[in-house]
């Protein structure tokens, strides 16, 4: 247990150091943040256009969909902020030989890697997500109680950790290809499905985002709960998060051992 | 008791056999052919606590592969490595607590941050007690002259300044064993000397075991007591540095400054001509085969000798000899 606490506290020390490094490049941060917000606004305009032609998607109205969108963005923001460096394993750490340096530290390499995340601009997602969530809760006249606020904080973090675990699993590709960032990215994009009510999808996609890559637990089930749609699935998400991380770490260690035996 | 034990250590790599042309590349993509290359071919050695060992050999001799196995970065194909009672390959993180390593010019410091921030992170990572950290920092700052560097960003340091900080970072947690791979590459003479002095000082005080890989044999000459010489994946010499020089370096190089030479000197008894021109003649000979006086007599038949410089064989010369004909060893 003390080992886990030491590792987590080290992770935050590394992350703090990365942020300090990032903040030196102020302009980069601001430009990055603005471009992230613009990308998301384009998507929101697209949703708006869809709702010009219909007044609900599987029973969800425009504002409810925007709330779901906002809740997703909060988790994505946190996850990008905390785990972004998973994308660097192939192109940066392994290709440029930085990986050896990290393997020589008295701490699990994943801690060092995710601790080197410098995605300060993820705060753009986070901010926009928070804005959408709060605005929609007010517009939908849902009372913002302390319980609801705590729930949103807790499950947003859980959601971020779920995304982090899924990305960690796909980051294993780094040990075989330098272009692992693209592998992670292509699987990560599947979360887009979970930004809409899953009832609009066929069986395959439903199974995909609830069982295989359980993105639905990031924001979809939590949003249903916040909206009072009687969903208890939300309470499974912490368990899913833990199980995913156990799988991710086990697989990652296996891949690492394989990598160390070939040395390529 | 040995702090490092290496027994019958072998490492074989599988590498893809490259074929020429686009056709070959495509063929490789679909069905790659593998070649096996054995980089380390069953080596044995023991290193005791506090030893300063120069691990040398030509490029591709298997030095880096061995170091990578000692640090647990690579797992051996066969054989045994025990470092400080631990099998590094199995308990890498445990092993990492006891070791420090510098790999060429790769920095372990945080590039955009002031040096001192990296030191603080290292302190936290290795759980260095506060008083030990302060003591080491004070001493290292003094020996390596880091006072003005600690608050500077790493990216703004010169190569020499960076390496001094790097070395300090490596020794900060009082590692039992330190692996230094080319720690002085590209540095000026003063920084090199500074770093060598630091290594010797710390070794004397803390009995830190140091394994030094370098192409600058002055490093070895200056720092190490023992040499392990590797050639094509095998150890061809392991022992005291002085003994190595005595055994393989019994020759002398003499440079004769000459004048009014009337014809080319093509042959000398029991000596090899290394260089010859109008003004000088460089020869090499073994102590037991001839003497400087005999050579002088012989050379004076051809020209007038104005001056003589005699040089004992240096490590570098000896190694060049050995590499040229490794079978002699």
Two tokens, residue A46: 């697209």
Domain limits for position A178: 2-262
Cα(B310)–Cα(B299) distance, rounded to whole angstroms?
A: 15
Q: In the structure, what pLDDT confidence band is assigned to residue A181 with cuts at 50, 70 and 90?
A: confident
Backbone angles phi, psi at B221, to 5 degrees: -55, -40
Residues of B with CB under 8 A from a CB of A: 11, 13-15, 65, 68, 71-75, 89, 92-94, 96-97, 99, 101, 103, 106, 108, 110-113, 117, 121, 124-127
More confident residue, B23 or A138: A138
- In whole angstroms, give the CA distance from residue A191 to residue A237: 15
* B241 touches B208 (CB < 8 A): no
Mean pLDDT of A78-90: 92
Binary contact (B92, A103; C-beta < 8 A): yes
Cβ-based neighbour number of residue B10 at 10 Å: 16
**Chain B residues touching residue A97 (CB < 8 angstroms):** 106
| Distance of alpha carbon A124 from alpha carbon A115, whole angstroms | 20
Q: Which of A20, A107, A263 sits opposite B113 (nearest CB)?
A: A20
CA distance B83 to B46: 10
Distance CA A147, CA A131 (A): 19
- Distances in Å between the Cα of B114 and the Cα atoms of A26, B120, B124 are 17, 10, 16
The per-residue DSSP string of B101-136 comes to EEETT---S-TTSBHHHHHHHHHHHTT--HHHHHHH
pLDDT, average across residues B240-253: 79
Contact: B96, A105; criterion CB under 8 Å: yes
State whether A21 and B110 contact (CB < 8 Å).
yes
User: Nearest to residue A114, comparing CAs of A96, A97, A89, A94?
Assistant: A89
Least confident of A193-207, B163-177, B272-286: B272-286
In whole angstroms, give the CA distance from residue B252 to residue B259: 22
Whether B89 and A262 lie within 8 Å, measured CB to CB: no
Which residues of A fall within a CB distance of 8 Å from B68? 100, 263
For A34-79, the pLDDT digits (tens) are 998 998 999 999 999 999 998 889 899 999 999 999 999 999 999 9
Closest CA of chain B from A236, distance in Å: 34
pLDDT at A249 over 60: yes
Nearest residue to A72 (alpha-carbon basis) of A170, A163, A148: A163
Q: Where are the alpha helices (DSSP H) in B172-313?
A: 189-206, 217-223, 241-248, 292-299
C-alpha A103/C-alpha B73 separation (Å) is 7
Whether the per-residue pLDDT at A259 is higher than 50: the answer is yes
How many distinct structural domains can be found in chain A? 1
Percent of chain B with pLDDT over 90: 53
Q: Which residues contact A135 (CB under 8 A, 6 or more apart)?
A: A66, A70
**Pair of tokens at residue A97:** 């030989």
3 state SS of B276: strand
- Comparing CA positions, the residue from A211, A61, A205 lying closest to residue A69 is A61
For residues A104 and A159, the answer to whether their CB atoms sit within 8 Å is no
Chain A contacts of B93, Cβ < 8 Å? 106-108
Decide: A75 and A219 in contact? Cβ < 8 Å. yes
Beta B209-213 vs B52-57: how paired, if at all? parallel
What percentage of chain A has pLDDT greater than the value 90?
61
All structural domains of chain B, each given as residue ranges with its CATH number in brackets, are 2-7+43-246 (3.40.50.300), 250-312 (3.30.70)
Residue A96's nearest CA partner among A77, A76, A78, A116 is A116
Choose among A9, A100, A107: nearest Cβ to B73: A100
Residue B325 clears pLDDT 70, i.e. is over it: no
Q: Please determine, for residue B328, whether its predicted confidence score (pLDDT) is greater than 50.
A: no
Interface of A with B (CB under 8 A): 6, 9-10, 13-14, 17, 20-21, 24, 97-98, 100-101, 103-108, 257, 260-264
Read off the tokens for B320: 């060049």
For residues A56 and A223, give the distance between their C-alpha atoms in angstroms, rounded to a whole number: 16
Instruction: Report the alpha-carbon angle B103-B107-B110, nearest 5.
Output: 155
Find the range with the poorest average confidence among A113-122, A235-244, B152-161, B276-285: B276-285
Residues 6+ apart with CB under 8 A from B96: A104, A105, A106, B71, B72
Q: Which residues of A168-199 are buried (b: 16+ CB within 10 A; e: fewer)?
A: bbbbbbbbbebebbebbeeebeebebbbbbbe
Among the partner residues B73, B125, B126, nearest to A260 by beta-carbon distance: B73
DSSP letters spanning B187-205:
--HHHHHHHHHHHHHHHHH
Q: Cβ of A260 and B15 within 8 Å?
A: no
Q: How far apart are CA A222 and CA A69, in angstroms?
A: 12
Q: In whole angstroms, how far apart are CA B145 and each of B65, B138, B139, B149, B197?
A: 33, 10, 10, 8, 12
Q: Is the pLDDT of residue A264 over 60?
A: no
In this prediction, residue A119 carries a pLDDT of 84
pLDDT digits (tens, 9 = 90+) for B44-65: 999 999 999 999 988 888 998 9
Q: How far is A107 from chain B (nearest CA, A)?
A: 6
The number of residues making up chain A comes to: 264
What pLDDT score does B21 carry? 76
Q: What is the mean pLDDT of residues A238-248?
A: 96
Q: Is beta strand B2-16 parallel, antiparallel or unpaired with respect to B78-83?
A: antiparallel
Average pLDDT of the segment spanning A92-104: 87
CB contacts, 8 Å: B117 with chain A: 17, 20
Write out pLDDT tens, residues A12-32. Answer: 999 999 988 888 888 888 888
Q: In terms of pLDDT, which residue wins out, B313 or B132? A: B132
Question: What integer is the mean pLDDT of A210-228?
Answer: 93
Residues B106-130 have a mean pLDDT of: 93
Question: If you average pLDDT over residues A218-234, what whole number do you get?
Answer: 90
pLDDT tens readout for residues B183-228: 888 889 999 999 999 999 999 999 999 999 988 888 888 999 999 9
Instruction: Please judge whether A17 and B110 are an interchain contact, meaning their C-beta atoms are less than 8 angstroms apart.
Output: yes
């Amino acid at each position: 247990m003390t080992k886990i606490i030491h590792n987590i506290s080290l992770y935050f020390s590394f992350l703090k150091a990365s942020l300090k490094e990032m903040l030196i490049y102020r302009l980069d941060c601001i430009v990055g943040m603005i471009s992230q917000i613009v990308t998301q606004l384009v998507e929101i305009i697209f949703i708006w256009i869809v709702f010009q032609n219909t007044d609900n998607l599987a029973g969800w109205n425009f504002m409810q969909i925007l709330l779901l969108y906002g809740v997703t963005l909060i988790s994505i923001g946190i996850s990008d902020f905390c785990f972004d460096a998973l994308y660097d394993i192939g192109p940066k750490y392994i290709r440029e030989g930085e990986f050896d340096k990290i393997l020589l530290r008295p701490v699990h390499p994943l801690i060092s890697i995710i601790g080197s995340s410098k995605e300060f601009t993820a705060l753009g997602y986070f901010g926009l997500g928070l804005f959408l969530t709060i605005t929609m809760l007010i517009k939908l006249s849902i009372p913002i109680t302390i319980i609801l606020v705590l729930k949103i904080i807790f499950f947003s973090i859980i959601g971020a950790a779920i995304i982090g675990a899924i990305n960690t699993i796909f980051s294993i590709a780094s040990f075989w290809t330098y272009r692992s960032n693209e592998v992670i990215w292509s699987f990560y994009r599947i979360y887009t499905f979970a930004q809409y009510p899953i009832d609009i999808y066929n069986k395959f996609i439903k199974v995909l985002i609830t069982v295989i890559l359980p993105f639905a637990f990031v924001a979809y089930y939590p949003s249903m709960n916040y909206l009072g749609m009687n969903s208890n699935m939300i309470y499974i998400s912490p368990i899913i998060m833990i199980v995913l991380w156990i799988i991710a770490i086990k697989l990652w260690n296996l891949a690492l051992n394989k990598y160390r035996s070939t040395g390529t | 008791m040995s702090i490092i034990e290496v027994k019958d250590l072998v490492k074989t790599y599988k590498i893809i056999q490259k074929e020429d042309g686009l056709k070959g590349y495509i063929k490789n993509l679909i069905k790659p052919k593998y070649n096996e290359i054995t980089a380390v071919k069953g080596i044995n050695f023991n290193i005791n606590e506090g030893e300063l060992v120069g691990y040398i050999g030509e490029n591709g001799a298997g030095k880096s592969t061995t170091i990578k196995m000692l640090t647990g970065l690579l797992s051996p194909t066969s054989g045994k490595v025990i470092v400080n009672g631990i099998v590094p390959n199995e308990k890498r993180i445990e092993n990492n607590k006891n070791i420090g390593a510098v790999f060429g010019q790769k920095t372990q410091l945080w590039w955009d941050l002031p040096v001192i921030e990296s030191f603080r992170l290292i302190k936290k990572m290795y759980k260095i007690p506060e008083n030990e950290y302060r003591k080491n920092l004070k001493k290292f700052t003094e020996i390596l002259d880091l006072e003005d560097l600690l608050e500077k960003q790493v990216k703004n340091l010169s190569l020499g300044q960076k390496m001094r900080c790097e070395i300090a970072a490596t020794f900060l947690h009082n590692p039992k064993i330190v692996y230094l791979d080319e720690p002085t590459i590209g540095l000026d003479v003063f920084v090199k000397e500074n770093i060598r002095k630091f290594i010797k000082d710390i070794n004397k005080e803390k009995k830190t075991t140091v394994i030094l890989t370098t192409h600058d044999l002055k490093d070895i000459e200056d720092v190490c007591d023992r040499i392990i010489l590797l050639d094509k994946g095998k150890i061809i010499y392991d022992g005291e540095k002085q003994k190595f020089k005595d055994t393989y370096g019994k020759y002398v190089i003499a440079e004769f400054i000459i004048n009014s030479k009337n014809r080319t000197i093509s042959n000398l008894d029991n000596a090899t001509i290394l260089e010859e021109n109008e003004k000088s003649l460089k020869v090499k000979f073994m102590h037991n085969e001839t003497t400087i006086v005999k050579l002088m007599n012989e050379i004076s038949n051809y020209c007038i000798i104005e001056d003589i410089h005699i040089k004992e064989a240096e490590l570098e010369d000896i190694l060049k000899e050995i590499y040229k004909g490794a079978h002699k060893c």
